[in-house]
């Protein structure tokens, strides 16, 4: 009896605790559902609005708004994306304390409905997104290890044949079209960079039609990664309403509300269309590669080398994940080059410095675009363009995989963490004259600061990320930036000029023709959209004038064959030659 008397209050207390906890959990989830974010991260930050958080302000422009907040709230701040807390890193030191020093805890990726659901699974419910946007797992770690081996600098020479042909095509097209008058250079630069990334991936030279198609699709695919758009992607209540609208589609159309429903589905329909196009050319090119390998072909290629190394371990989904990851790498290179060459066209002094630097190394000889480190000033132009324009304004968001303590501030597991790349690349503790375009900050032992030599520690800038999930394609990026720049600046003088009607009609992709950039190519004001994941410049007219018309025509007709490996069969690149790199 005494035991029963003792147990009754205990059971009642336990039941009461369960009820209270249950009510609190229910209230917590209900608050999140209707649009109130939790407040577990104790950092300063702008006041969020219920339901949307800080998204309304962010839609005024990511770099512009986050820069204003960074000045007010400091190195690390809390913002709210819909109903999710996010930490934004605003200084190089903050990035080092998180992504670098405690990198294991910051290698997750948040999942978003539009990208990881609608886009990735447009053709197959089990299909994966890219490796770079996938949540962390042992399999992702394995993929990154394999890709690191394929994209390492030591392997660059294996693809010189493809690089030489793409660079030859670039000069040939510019030599052909310069007489048309001022032209936007986007088509030439994006198709060069995206074409090379596809050539290296599949081991064959894509034709002109497919090259253009791949470049355009990959630019549009990247636009699907825009943070917080559409709103229902990050707001549970809107997600529920969106799903309900789908089930009530017939009724809504009967009531004359079909237009609203159609507009609601535009983002998803566009994502599905782009995914189908991307997967279509990736699977077709992969199938052709498999056929060539079975026939005994040994042409170097990133996917081909993986297939030969891993055999049957690569599933069809693995190949989708790998190919869609690597084929888009040229998009960012084309973006940086489009910004940079348009800026140089308004800066004759910078062009003259480049010409002098090339002559100091090569004299009257033709520069070799595949000798990536020969002309320091050309390399510095590429590095400064990455810092100054910071085309990947927010990088790819991370997600903490465990609770992390950063100098007494706890960032709970599952928190979105973003590096404010544009602002970090203007961190005055690391760079001087932060709002000026100064290539010299990367020359003669300097590493970001033009007034002093500095030990080369860490990444030069954050346009390619930092820590455990940084971009694996940096060697390729540097190769294409250098090769494209040295050839264009060797053969042409560039001037800015307005685009005529014909020039506007040729702008690539065509949505960039809605506005023209200023002559100074302001990194914020001259974006075609301030909320895109990749900062694409507005259209910009550039007039090209051959510096030596005879030398240009000679190189196009026959001089280009002196490029290393330009005219050799791909099979001639031996393991010994690879080791020498």
Which region holds residue 251: left if phi is over 0, alpha if psi is between -120 and 50, else beta?
alpha
Give 564's contacts (C-beta < 8 A, 6+ positions apart): 160, 164, 368, 370
CA-nearest of 33, 60, 106, 323 to 201 is 323
Residue 549's CATH number: 1.10.630.10
Residue with the larger pLDDT of the pair 64 and 130: 64
Predicted confidence (pLDDT) per residue in 62-76, tens digit: 999 999 999 999 999
What is the edge-to-edge ordering of all strands in the sheet holding 398-399? 76-81, 84-89, 416-419, 398-399
Tell me, yes or no, whether 257 lies in a domain.
no
Q: What is the pLDDT of residue 34?
A: 44
Query: Where residue 376 falls among pLDDT bands split at 50, 70, 90?
Result: very high
> What's the rounded Cα separation, in Å, for the pair 508 and 510?
5
Range(s) of the domain holding residue 530: 155-229+270-387+471-580
- Pairing type for strands 492-496 and 76-81 reads unpaired
Tell me, yes or no, whether 554 lies in a domain.
yes
Q: What is the pTM of this model?
A: 0.88
> What's the rounded Cα separation, in Å, for the pair 392 and 339?
13
Tell me, yes or no, whether 139 lies in a domain.
no
Identify the helix (H) or strand (E) that includes residue 121: none
CA distances from residue 448 to 189, 372, 460, 470 in whole angstroms, order as listed: 26, 20, 7, 19
CA-nearest of 225, 325, 270 to 535 is 225
Tell me, yes or no, whether 380 lies in a domain.
yes
Predicted confidence (pLDDT) per residue in 156-209, tens digit: 678 888 999 999 999 999 999 999 999 999 999 999 999 999 999 999 999 999
Mean predicted lDDT score pLDDT of the chain:
85
Q: Evaluate if residue 17 carries a pLDDT over 80.
A: no
Tell me, yes or no, whether 423 lies in a domain.
no
Tell me, yes or no, whether 542 lies in a domain.
yes
Q: What is the pLDDT of residue 257?
A: 53
575: helix, strand or coil: helix
- Pairing type for strands 416-419 and 84-89 reads parallel
Tell me, yes or no, whether 553 lies in a domain.
yes
Domain count, the chain: 1
> What's the rounded Cα separation, in Å, for the pair 252 and 59?
29
Q: Is the peptide bond before 514 cis (omega within 30 degrees of 0)?
A: no
Whether 471 has a binding-site annotation, put simply, is yes
486, β-bridge pairs: none
Q: Using CA atoms in the order 450, 454, 458, 463, what is the torsion angle rounded to 10 degrees?
A: 0
Six-digit token string for 292: 């060539």
Tell me, yes or no, whether 160 lies in a domain.
yes
> What's the rounded Cα separation, in Å, for the pair 15 and 86?
36
The position carrying tokens 């309900």 is: 244
């Amino acid at each position: 009896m005494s035991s029963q008397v003792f147990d009754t209050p205990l059971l009642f207390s336990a039941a009461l605790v369960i009820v209270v906890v249950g009510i609190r959990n229910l209230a917590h989830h209900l608050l999140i559902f209707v649009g109130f974010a939790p407040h577990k991260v104790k950092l300063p930050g702008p006041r969020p609005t219920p339901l949307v958080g800080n998204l309304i302000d962010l839609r005024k422009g990511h770099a512009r708004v986050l820069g204003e907040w960074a000045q007010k709230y400091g190195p690390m701040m809390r913002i709210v994306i819909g109903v999710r807390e996010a930490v934004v890193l605003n200084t190089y030191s903050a990035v080092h304390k998180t992504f670098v020093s405690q990198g294991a805890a910051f290698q997750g990726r948040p999942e978003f409905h539009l990208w990881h659901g609608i886009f990735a699974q447009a053709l197959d419910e089990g299909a994966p997104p890219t490796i770079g946007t996938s949540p962390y797992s042992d399999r992702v770690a394995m993929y990154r290890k394999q890709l690191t081996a394929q994209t390492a600098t030591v392997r660059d020479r294996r693809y010189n044949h493809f690089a030489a042909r793409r660079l030859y095509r670039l000069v040939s097209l510019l030599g052909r079209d310069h007489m048309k008058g001022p032209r936007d250079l986007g088509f030439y630069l994006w198709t060069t960079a995206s074409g090379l990334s596809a050539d290296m991936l599949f081991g064959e030279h894509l034709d002109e039609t497919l090259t253009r198609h791949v470049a355009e699709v990959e630019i549009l695919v990247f636009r699907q990664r825009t943070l917080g758009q559409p709103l229902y992607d990050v707001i549970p209540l809107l997600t529920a309403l969106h799903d309900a609208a789908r089930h009530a589609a017939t009724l809504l159309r009967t009531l004359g509300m079909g237009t609203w429903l159609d507009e609601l589905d535009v983002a998803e329909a566009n994502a599905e269309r782009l995914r189908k196009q991307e997967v279509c050319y990736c699977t077709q090119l992969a199938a052709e590669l498999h056929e060539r390998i079975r026939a005994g072909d040994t042409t170097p290629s990133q996917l081909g080398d993986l297939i030969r190394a891993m055999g049957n371990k690569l599933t069809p989904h693995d190949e989708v994940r790998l190919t869609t990851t690597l084929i888009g790498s040229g998009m960012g290179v084309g973006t940086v080059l489009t910004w940079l060459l348009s800026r140089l066209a308004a800066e004759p002094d910078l062009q003259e410095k480049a010409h002098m630097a090339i002559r100091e190394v090569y004299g009257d000889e033709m520069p070799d675009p595949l000798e990536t480190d020969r002309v320091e000033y050309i390399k510095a132009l590429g590095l400064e363009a990455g810092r100054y324009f910071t085309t990947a304004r927010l990088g790819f968001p991370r997600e903490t995989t465990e609770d992390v303590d950063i100098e007494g501030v706890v960032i709970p597991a599952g928190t979105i963490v973003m590096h404010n790349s544009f602002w970090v690349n203007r961190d005055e503790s690391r760079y001087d004259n932060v709002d000026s375009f100064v290539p010299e900050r990367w020359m003669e032992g300097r590493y970001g600061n033009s007034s002093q030599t500095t030990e080369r520690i860490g990444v030069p800038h954050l346009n390619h990320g930092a820590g455990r999930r940084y971009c694996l394609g940096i060697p390729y990026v540097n190769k294409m930036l250098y090769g494209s720049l040295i050839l264009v600046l060797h053969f042409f003088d560039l001037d800015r000029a307005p685009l005529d009607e014909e020039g506007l009609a040729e702008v690539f992709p065509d949505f960039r023709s809605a506005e023209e950039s200023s002559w100074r190519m302001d990194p914020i004001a001259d974006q075609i959209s301030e909320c895109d994941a990749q900062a694409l410049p507005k259209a910009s007219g550039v007039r090209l004038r051959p510096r030596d018309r005879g030398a240009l025509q000679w190189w196009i007709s026959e001089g280009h064959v002196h490029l290393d490996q330009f005219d050799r069969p791909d099979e001639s690149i031996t393991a010994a030659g690879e080791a020498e790199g």
